[in-house]
């Protein structure tokens, strides 16, 4: 419950002029769980790009009046952001727009480059001037640089992919084409679909494609570039099968929406399987199984099905609170967890409870949730986690940039149990991750330290935002 999401990308290309802004709005709404800091839509109005981007949730940034001001068109790209590189400010809102001598480009990015600092330094030494602190602008700069010396935008994307390292699922728009690309490892999901009237839709997750009335065609292959134009759809695969597939396993555990299917694997079924594995590997005598909303609900159901312990609702989430929620100041006598969650005392009082959640990162949140459940009059609280202990930082789009705050790096499982106040604690065995991915190659570096790419020297989220006081004199 301590992990932040990354980002969600969306793109649409229709055969006729239509309200692509509203279609993008609904697509972003379906991807809101992936990013709740900022969002934006860029519409292609006959080669002229018109956009609206701002901080906040999709429903806060867009309304009917704003959407009506975006022109009718046949093409648009859109983005919801949670920043893993770069600060939380309007400058870092996406999609990023670029004007160059061969036209325009709008780019939306999900993921995190592991060589962003190196690339940015190289570009700055050759005269590049950056306006944001996100690694997405680095990608845009490299693609633009390649575009000035290649015959097409898709050639430029392909050349740029020879330079980029790490995680990137991209949707970009030129005056005449919509293009998507997925890094050769396939760290982050990307798929596309089509409506009955011929409109193509690209999205981070299949749930967004279905939300706008389209049928999913397939996932974009790792390393693949898809080009959507008046001529149809072209698949370029010169970067495919150059790396072993490394989809982030946490997409199945937490990031993705349960009704999504990623690389042929149902997210809901994967989480059910995790709960069943937990019930077998860490059994316990209890009266009720509950999940931490929303991330632990599916795994809790799986735990219940396997153990025979009844599944119930024990925690109620305030559905009107998003990432924009302002946490109480440290001195205020308010608990942010109690504002976000409340315990259903009628279900919990006098019972031995199994609480299932997706992860424990720092431990602060879990400790407060356990206390919340105990205060409801429970006899026992047994915590089960549907992932292994976090031991290493992630460089590919998850907001864990250091081991400094990872509780499992400093304490044993029994020590963590005592810290969070649980009667017992069990994690998903690392070897069980294979069953969640169901044959799909995955990255589990945050658990085992086996990184597919070179580890960057500077991993801080704010590495491009140095304060004067931090500069060595």
Burial label for 121, CB within 10 Å (0-12, 13-18, 19+), is exposed
Instruction: Determine phi and psi for 157, rounding to 5 degrees.
Output: -65, -45
**Which three-class secondary structure state does DSSP give residue 436?**
helix
Structure tokens at 270: 């994967």
DSSP3 helix / strand / coil % (the chain, rounded to 5): 30, 25, 45
State the virtual CA torsion across 170, 175, 177, 179 in degrees, nearest 10. -10
Contacts of residue 387, defined as CB under 8 A and 6 or more positions apart, other chains included, come to 250, 253, 254, 274, 358, 359, 427, 428, 447
* Contact criterion met (CB below 8 Å) for 300 and 291: yes
Identify the H or E element spanning 433: helix 433-437
Active site residue 7: yes
Distance CA 284, CA 279 (A): 8
Name residue 50's beta-bridge partners.
43
Q: How many CA atoms lie within 13 A of 237 on its CB side?
A: 6
* Contact criterion met (CB below 8 Å) for 14 and 20: yes
The string of DSSP letters for 26-42 reads HHHHHTGGG--SEEEEE
Three-state secondary structure along 308-377?
CCCECCCEEECCCCCCCCCCCCCCCCCCHHHHHEEECHHHHCCCEEEEEECCCCCCHHHHHHHHHHHCCC
Contacts of residue 288, defined as CB under 8 A and 6 or more positions apart, other chains included, come to 309, 310, 311, 312, 314, 347, 348, 351, 352, 353, 354
Structure tokens at 253: 């555990």
Instruction: Determine how β-strand 288-291 pairs with β-strand 352-357.
Output: parallel
Q: Active-site residue among 7, 39, 180, 207?
A: 7
Identify the H or E element spanning 247: strand 247-248
CA 315-319-324 angle, to 5 degrees, is 120
Catalytic residues: 7
């Amino acid at each position: 419950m301590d992990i932040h999401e990354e980002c969600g990308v969306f793109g649409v290309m229709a055969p006729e002029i239509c309200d692509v802004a509203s279609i993008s709005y609904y697509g972003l709404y379906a991807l809101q769980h992936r990013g709740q800091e900022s969002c934006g839509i860029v519409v292609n109005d006959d080669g002229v790009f018109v956009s609206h981007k701002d901080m906040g949730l999709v429903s806060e940034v867009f309304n009917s009046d704003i959407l009506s001001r975006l022109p009718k068109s046949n093409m648009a790209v859109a983005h919801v952001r949670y920043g893993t590189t770069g600060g939380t400010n309007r400058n870092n809102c996406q999609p990023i727009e670029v004007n160059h001598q061969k036209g325009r480009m709008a780019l939306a990015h999900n993921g995190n480059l592991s060589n962003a600092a190196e690339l940015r330094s190289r570009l700055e030494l050759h005269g590049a001037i950056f306006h944001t602190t996100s690694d997405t602008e680095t990608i845009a700069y490299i693609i633009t640089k390649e575009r000035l010396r290649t015959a097409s935008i898709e050639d430029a994307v392909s050349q740029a992919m020879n330079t980029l390292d790490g995680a990137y699922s991209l949707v970009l728009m030129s005056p005449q084409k919509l293009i998507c690309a997925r890094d050769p490892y396939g760290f982050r999901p990307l798929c596309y679909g089509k409506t009955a009237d011929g409109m193509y839709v690209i999205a981070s997750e299949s749930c967004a494609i279905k939300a706008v009335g389209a049928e999913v065609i397939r996932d974009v292959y790792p390393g693949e570039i898809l080009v959507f134009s008046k001529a149809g759809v072209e698949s370029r695969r010169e970067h495919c099968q150059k790396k072993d597939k490394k989809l982030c396993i946490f997409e199945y555990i937490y990031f993705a929406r349960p009704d999504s299917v990623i690389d042929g694997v149902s997210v809901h079924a994967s989480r059910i399987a995790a709960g069943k594995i937990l019930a077998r590997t860490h059994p316990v005598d209890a009266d009720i199984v509950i999940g931490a909303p929303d991330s632990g609900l599916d795994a809790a159901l799986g735990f219940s099905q396997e153990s025979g312990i009844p599944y119930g609702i024990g925690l109620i989430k305030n559905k009107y609170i998003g990432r924009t929620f302002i946490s109480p100041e440290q001195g205020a006598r308010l608990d942010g967890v109690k504002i976000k969650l409340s315990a259903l005392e009628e279900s919990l009082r006098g019972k031995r409870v199994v609480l299932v959640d997706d992860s424990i990162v720092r431990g602060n949140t879990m400790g407060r949730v356990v206390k919340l459940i105990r205060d409801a009059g429970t006899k026992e609280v047994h915590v089960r986690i549907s992932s292994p202990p976090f031991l290493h930082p992630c460089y590919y789009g998850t907001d864990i940039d250091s081991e400094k705050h990872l509780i499992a790096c400093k304490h044993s499982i029994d020590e963590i149990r005592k810290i969070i106040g649980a009667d017992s604690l069990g994690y998903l065995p690392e070897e069980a991750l294979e069953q969640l991915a169901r044959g799909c190659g995955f990255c589990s570096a945050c658990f085992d330290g086996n990184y597919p790419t070179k580890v960057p020297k500077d991993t801080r989220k704010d590495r491009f935002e140095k304060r004067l006081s931090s500069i060595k004199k």
